[in-house]
Structure 1
Amino acid sequence: MWIDRLTGDQIDRLPDVIEPGRYLDTDPSSGRQVLDSEGSGLLVSDGTESVVIRGQRHIFASAPKSLDQKVDLFERILETIDSSLEDDGDLVSPLMPEGVVNEDSLLNAFELKLLEIIDAGHLHQISMRPRLDLHYEDEVTDVARAKKLAKGALVHLASHSECWQRQTLSGVIPKRVKARFSEDDFNIYENRVYARLLDKIEQYLIWRVGTLLQLQSAVTEALEFYGANDLHHRLTEEICKLWGKAFTQDSTSKASEQLAATLEHLEKALGTIRGLKQSGLYLLVSRSAQIGNGLHLTNILSHDQHYRHLAVLWNELKSIVGGKQATPEERKEQNVILNHAYSRYAGLVLRHALLPYLGNKLSSKWARFNIELRQVGFDWQLVLSSADSDSDGRILLEVIPWMSMGSRLHDVSFVLQEKERPVTMIAWPNIDDKSLCSGGAATEAIWVQLSPFDLYCVERFGLLVDKLLQSELVSGYSAAITKVPTKTLKSMPFDAGFEVNEEKHQFRILKALTNEHLSKVESSLVHDNALQQTRDLKRRHEEIVELQKCPVCSGPVEVVHQAPSGFIAACSSCKTNRYLRGNAMEREYEQSLDGLISFELVGRRSFLCKL
């Protein structure tokens, strides 16, 4: 049996094309998930074209080759962030770490040597004046074409009368002779090294330039946030604060300048290499002539003033890109490790999104609720329970981190929406997005982008969390507390926060009460043994107290009741307006910052949701 992580279904047979990281092996005897500390239950690719699983042949879906560079950069960033995660202390930034940018923005030893050799003209000299060998070939040809007789030409002529033109008294006048022809041979070992080295350098530079362009795009976007005028300042401050945990504004500017300088050098070198491949010696060497990983140092490669630099470049490049390929077992193990790292990364982003509610903890009390963030296998759950109850609570949000680098083969949105389960979001890198950076929409149905390239990553999850928790908070507003003893109703103090209905034996709380009035009503309810009503009173009051705190700036706000069961709360400090509209049967809650509703402009601070 297998568990589909995205839908939660158990399946007997895997599809022919398997999406890596989607399926978990189970124990056939119990149906329970097999998930030890190494994550051996996760089905991931080992890099081979096909694999046999329980007698059936399958292939793994993979990202297009054009995305290899982005995938490699994503994995390196993920590993760097994962290595810096700590259980205690401040949360690390989930955005691109400074170490990766600084490491990649500097020219390495191979690149410095390459630029030096190009500037000295050694590669151009080899291209224009290559070493060559003479290839000799004997051929029977017309006398007019022969410039040099081959060895044994006279013997051949004496024994082949068909090559005679005529015979005289003094000898034979030949018509055809065995001649020796010489031809320049450019396909010597050293020239094959030159040609294949150009191929390797071009491939490497394409990879490096692509990586630097991706880093430059992310750094440039971060710099734009520092001076953005069209975005709300609270959004830019929050994102710059996250970015600032990895970069300061000054270091970001320096990194941008260094990236631009390195890009200029490498793009120029790439242009030079491509020029060398389009002329001269490269075109004279057979494309099928290959060189193994090991380089044989001939006299020419060791001592020639130009060719000896080829061996230096070859060895420097080999030390950078590596020569040994990982085995399928090693690739599989690495992919499992990366999936675990991606799961922990999702937890890091969720913890950042929950900072207004949990602080730097995994559980805390907020308003009348206990909130807890749990990790279950690879997934994360946001659990909500009443603070005055011993129940285990209910799952409010479930996030499934899925490190899929390719396109989604099957959209499971419809399947999940049909199931009776908590709000479920699938977090995936969206690596094939051409921009790979911040988009305009927070989510796409059940899909939410989770990537260190995305400056809005915490904002996306923050919006999910805010909508769910704020909806829970306002859903109880103006709810009637019923079956209240008559004695309590008659003895209730005069307070604008109460709305009493003696005929129905109920009352509502519409605004926060004074401590004196709250204590008096609680005492009366307890005296009349109305324990459930006492709990309801505390819950409704704690909700209103929390509503009087602005969710954006935490400043004090007056909650003004709007008949029949809504309210309006306007923050004078940050211009955040909140509205609860409708009746008891159908209501909607809206929060807007300074009249802006676009996620791209204000992030998590504006939204509309149905209750």
Structure 2
Amino acid sequence: MSQDPLMSPLMPAAIIDTQSHLLPFEEHLLDVVQQGHLHQISQRPRLDLHYEDEVADVARARRLAKGALVHLASHSELWQRQTLSGVIPKKVLARFSEDDYGIYENRIYARLLDKTEGHLRGRLSALKGLQATLDQALKFYESEGVDFRLSREVCRLWGMTFDQAATSRVSELLSQTLETVEYLHRVISGLQQSGVYLLVSRQAQVVGALHLTNILSHDPHYRHVALLWDLLGQTTMATRSSPEERFSHNQWLADAYSRYAGLVLRHALRPYLPDQDEGIWAGRCIRLQQSGLDWQLVSVVSGEHACEEVLLTIVPWLTDAHLLDETLQLPLERFIAWPAIRQQPQQAAYQGQWIALSPSDMYCVERFGQLVDTALYRMVLRSYGQPLTKIPVKVLALAGGIHGLHVDHQSHTFEVREAVSEGSIAVLKHALIAANSTRQAEALEQHNQEIVALEKCPVCGAKANLFFQSPLGFRANCDSCGTDRYLRRKGDQLVFDQSVSDCRDFAALGRRAFSIDITRVAISTR
């Protein structure tokens, strides 16, 4: 099935463009901070006087409370002594005044600082993430130890969003925005550690709509608090939702992340399935399909014994968790793709059964590409050198002189060890079908097509002849690009190695070098 041209799986330009500018709230906050209104409130706040009557020593009393004389006359225990002219008091009912900073306007100011600090902290995290992505792109442009084929492919994907000049411009703009937001965050954090903020109780919250008092409406400093409160409310309104709305939104995010995983897989499959989800490779029909939120790469076998062999399963998991559960037991063809938020880019393509998947990762297609390459190579390498049994004697006689075949007359078998010419395959197929050995004829053609596919260099596309190596292996070295591929027996295991100029570094080569333990593969069939 043909697909529309694939979009780039790397960070979309629209996201970076949107985040690279100050929000209206941040612009107004910067103006208010520069004019010093918040600092004026912090150091010279409005306040109220709170009066309280208390029985106190005469030495402490500065003002008598209303009814202090009546109170003194009725409480003789407060008398120092009584004289002919009257009473000398020991204690009196005095009125004390106390500055009350917990007025409504100051509570608005304090809670505005709290909300603003939280908003700026979130913005800093987002901006630093975008800046890290752009820095990674610029460093990649300037890196010298990266294979030119990897550099060309990654730059092609990134170039669908930005070119090098645009990346530099956006990075500069983003740096300016980040610097401004950091400045605002420092100012707000400083205001939270001094002045009237410390005198307002943290338990004094503001609920409901903002009530515009005379102070909030007309005071030259406090009126900016009301404006900032409204702008911040408009900025954060999108984050307020009911549990049902959050659940629906999370479902949408999970589906979007799954579709993104499918996009990256399609890019990774381009060498095998250019711009489509199904095609023929190595004589087999392979197909990319979605099952719920998961993605599967399957090998489809048609005919009398039709079945689908699952070669690779990707489980997209959208989470902010940053610790891997390496004890999780999964089938070897099943991988969990996660965003790896706030994680350093992994030096390997994947870790265990976990693989990073994020548009901020320049290597996202390369990581998935290595999974695809290993899955498809496992499929064909498992059958390499497997003998075809129950071969008629006449066919064995024909096969005896054909290059690439190893014939065992005693057991009536032969093996396809190297590529056989199309003419020889046609002759043998005709003889097998005539001898009523149709399944052997199909298997012969299948094995030969797999070897022909292996002879195509996966790095440069040139032909690299495959040569059998005893007891059960081969070598296929490409003279054009220096890619070496070997299938060797190590003990009881078969191991396939692919390297470029003796290098296997994923950061330098991407998907172009890997190693597979063939005997460890456990492919499920349904």
Report Cα offsets for 1:299-357 as digits up to 9, x if no partner. Answer: 11111111111101111111111288422222222223322233323222222222211
**Cα RMSD (Å) of the superposition?**
3.1
Q: Look up the SS of the partner of 1:577 in the other structure.
A: strand
Q: What pairs up with 1:89-488 in 2 under 5 angstroms?
A: 89-156=4-71, 162-163=78-79, 166-168=82-84, 177-322=92-237, 325-386=240-301, 391-406=306-321, 413-414=328-329, 416=330, 423-431=333-341, 434-435=342-343, 437-488=344-395
Inter-partner Cα distance in structure 2 for 1:343 and 1:593:
33
Shift of 1:261: 0.9
Q: Report SS of the residue matched to 1:314.
A: helix
C-alpha contact (below 8 Å) 1:413/1:445 kept by paired residues = no
Q: How many residues align?
A: 517
TM-superposed deviation, 1:130? 1.6
Deviations 1:4-31 (A, max 9, x none): xxxxxxxxxxxxxxxxxxxxxxxxxxxx
Q: Indicate if the aligned counterparts of 1:369 and 1:387 stay in contact, CA closer than 8 A.
A: no
For 1:512, the equivalent position in structure 2 comes to 419
Distance in 1 of aligned mates of 2:444 and 2:420: 11
* Alignment correspondent of 2:522: none
- TM-superposed CA distance for 1:243, in Å, is 2.7
What TM-score, normalized to structure 1?
0.76
Question: What SS class does the counterpart of residue 49 from structure 2 fall into?
Answer: strand
Rounded to whole Å, the distance in 2 between the matches of 1:404 and 1:138 is 58
CA contact (8 A) 2:455 2:465 kept: yes
- Equivalent pair of 1:510/1:561 in contact (CA under 8 Å): yes
Amino acid at match of 1:606: A
Match of 1:81 in 2: none
Q: How much does 1:107 deviate?
A: 0.4
Native 8 Å contact 1:566 1:583 kept in 2: no
For structure 1, list consecutive stretches of 5 or more residues without a partner in the other structure: 1-85
Query: Secondary structure of the residue that 1:455 maps to in structure 2?
Result: coil
User: CA offsets per residue over residues 237-261 of structure 1, 9 Å max, x none?
Assistant: 3233233333332332222212211
Matched position secondary structure for 1:393 = strand
The question of whether the paired residues in 1 share the 8 Å contact of 2:2 and 2:275 is answered with no
Deviations 1:208-230 (A, max 9, x none): 11221122122211221122222
- Does residue 536 (structure 1) correspond to residue 443 (structure 2)? The answer is yes
CA apart distance, 1:164: 6.9
After the TM superposition, which of the residue ranges 339-348 and 259-268 deviates more from structure 2?
339-348
Give the counterpart letter for 1:196 in structure 2. R
Q: CA deviation at 1:182?
A: 3.0
Give 3-state SS (helix, strand or coil) of 1:357's partner. coil
- What is residue 503 of structure 2 aligned with on the other side? 596
Cα pair 1:141 1:179 within 8 Å, conserved: yes
The aligned counterpart of 1:25 is none
1:530 Cα deviation after fit: 3.9
Looking at structure 2, the residues matched to 294 and 372 of structure 1 have their Cα atoms a distance apart, in angstroms, of 56
1:4 counterpart residue number: none
Distance 1:458 1:232 in 2: 16
Residues 177/98 of structure 1: CA separation in 2 closer, same or farther (3 Å cut): same
Q: Distance in 2 between matches of 1:501 and 1:123?
A: 92
Deviation per CA, 1:104-149, whole angstroms, max 9, x where unpaired?
2210000000010000011111112222222333445455544444
Q: Shift in Å at residue 459 of structure 1? A: 2.2
Answer yes or no: is the 8 Å Cα contact 2:404–2:417 preserved in 1.
yes
CA apart distance, 1:411: 5.7
Distance 2:232 2:497 in 1: 58
Q: How much does 1:285 deviate?
A: 2.1
Distance in 2 (CA, whole Å) between partners of 1:490 and 1:407 is 62
Return the alpha-carbon distance in structure 2 between the equivalents of residues 266 and 373 of structure 1. Answer: 44
Match of 1:75 in 2: none
Q: Deviations over 1:5-59 (max 9, x none)?
A: xxxxxxxxxxxxxxxxxxxxxxxxxxxxxxxxxxxxxxxxxxxxxxxxxxxxxxx
Which whole-Å CA distance do the structure 1 matches of 2:238 and 2:395 have between them?
83
Q: CA deviation at 1:457?
A: 2.6
8 Å CA contact 1:368–1:386 kept in 2: the answer is no
Change beyond 3 A, Cα 1:443–1:176: closer
Provide, for residues 180-210 of structure 1, a one-character-per-residue CA deviation record: whole Å limited to 9, x for no partner: 4333322222122112211111121112112
CA contact 2:279–2:286 (8 Å) conserved in 1: yes
State the alpha-carbon separation in 1 of the partners of residues 91 and 505 from structure 2.
90
Matches of 1:237 and 1:409 in 2, distance apart? 32
Q: Unmatched 5+ residue regions in structure 2?
A: 519-526
The 3-state SS of whatever aligns with 1:355 is: coil
Secondary structure of the 1:591 match is: strand
* Cα 1:502/1:259, change in 2 over 3 Å: same
Identical positions, percent: 47
